[in-house]
Amino acid sequence: MKGLELCKDFFFEIGLPKIKESIPEILPYLAAGLGGGSQCHGNDDEIYRDHGWGPGFGIWLQKDIKERFEKELKEVLDQLPKQYKGYGWADKSEAQYACLILDIDKFMNVKVGVSDAPSKDVHWLHIAEERLFEITHYPIFYDAAVEVTRRFNSFKNYYPEDVWKKRLSHHLIEVWRWNVQYVKRSANRNDLVTAGLLWGRFAEHVMKVGFLLNREYAPYEKWLYVQFLKLPRLGEEIGNRIARGIREPTEIVDLTDQIEDLLIKELKTLGFRAQEVPRAAYPKETIRLLKFSKGIVESIKNTEIKSFQNL
């Protein structure tokens, strides 16, 4: 059974009825769901049930409402069973945190550093992309005031156009760098151990480009490849080549060229054009992605985003 289904059923069949019975006056303010874990995006399995997995849910409340009801609500939640439908917590010490009461403002600031999606475009660049992936995958089971839903959904409209272009140009440079400067040089020296190690860094940035081209947020490293394979564009084509590069390191040079060709084809489909890179210290045939990165940067209208350095 998937954790999301387990927790949702636990809330509606066990948690919510008990809350209604004990503290009915809290219901107009109540929001509940999951605020972390692989079960939020459906990637939990038997292996990942060894920690942070079991029947439970989080409750989000505004600060004043939390202060008003927290003591009574905690007593109710502490009485809920720690086993449900034959499932429990692998680590019994974690069971005490099965049902948390959370201040929505503090929760948002811990997770993404802001209480709502930034109103100023450049501020999006201060939020790590994996944080945006998480906040847009937290499932909400119940939200009487719709406030938590509004906050989470404010990030689902994706990056503003210039922020998207800035991140895309950055990761294209990183794909080029890890390929031309490191992976290919190691492979051409027949140092396949080093090439294999560097392949992972190259693949990481390739996948982040893939997410950007699909206009989807990329998760953190543990789920990067798993989620990448789900992308409708390039996920399978490039994902299979990334896997082959690990299994067949002698093919790495050819595979990097194939992946670069696929990325450039997609960039052209989206209307991006290459632009010359003055004084490039590498042969022209090796800097195709640099040229596209340059063209993308030059199309950014917001000067503050265009000159942003700390990605």
The reply to whether 250 and 139 lie within a common domain is: no
Domain assignment of residue 9, yes or no: yes
DSSP category for residue 87 = B
**DSSP reduced 3-state for 190:** coil
Tell me the pLDDT of the chain (311 aa) as tens digits. 999 999 999 999 999 999 999 999 999 999 999 999 999 999 998 888 878 899 999 999 999 999 999 999 999 999 999 999 999 998 888 888 899 999 999 999 999 999 999 999 999 999 999 999 999 999 999 999 999 999 999 999 999 999 999 999 999 999 999 999 999 999 999 999 999 999 999 999 999 999 999 999 999 999 999 999 999 999 999 999 999 999 999 999 999 999 999 999 999 999 999 999 988 888 888 999 999 999 999 999 999 999 999 88
The reply to whether 137 and 171 lie within a common domain is: no
The residue ranges of DSSP E strands in 187-307, in sequence order, are none
The reply to whether 165 and 299 lie within a common domain is: yes
Question: Burial, 162: exposed, middle or buried (Cβ in 10 Å; 0-12, 13-18, 19+)?
Answer: buried
The reply to whether 147 and 31 lie within a common domain is: yes
How many Å separate Cα 186 from the centre of its chain?
31
Domain assignment of residue 311, yes or no: no
Q: Which of 153, 184, 201 is the last residue of a domain?
A: 153
Q: Which of 153, 178, 204 is the last residue of a domain?
A: 153
Contact 303, 166 (CB under 8 A): no
Which pLDDT score, from 0 to 100, does residue 138 have?
Answer: 97
Give the number of domains in the chain.
2
Report the 10 Å Cβ neighbour count for 141.
20
Domain assignment of residue 113, yes or no: yes
Q: Which of 153, 179, 203 is the last residue of a domain?
A: 153
The reply to whether 87 and 183 lie within a common domain is: no
Domain assignment of residue 264, yes or no: yes
The reply to whether 249 and 217 lie within a common domain is: yes
Rounded Cα distance, 307 and 277, in Å: 17
The reply to whether 117 and 238 lie within a common domain is: no
The reply to whether 119 and 167 lie within a common domain is: no
CA-CA-CA-CA dihedral for 214, 227, 149, 23, to nearest 10: 180
Rounded Cα distance, 160 and 121, in Å: 6
The reply to whether 135 and 221 lie within a common domain is: no
Helix axes 161-176, 192-213, angle to 10 degrees: 160
The reply to whether 203 and 79 lie within a common domain is: no
The reply to whether 42 and 124 lie within a common domain is: yes
The reply to whether 106 and 176 lie within a common domain is: no
Question: Burial, 100: exposed, middle or buried (Cβ in 10 Å; 0-12, 13-18, 19+)?
Answer: middle
pTM beyond 0.85: the answer is yes
pLDDT digits over 5-59, tens only?
999 999 999 999 999 999 999 999 999 999 999 999 999 988 888 788 999 999 9
Domain assignment of residue 44, yes or no: yes
Q: How many alpha carbons fall within 13 Å on the CB side of residue 247?
A: 6
Range of the domain at 290: 161-306
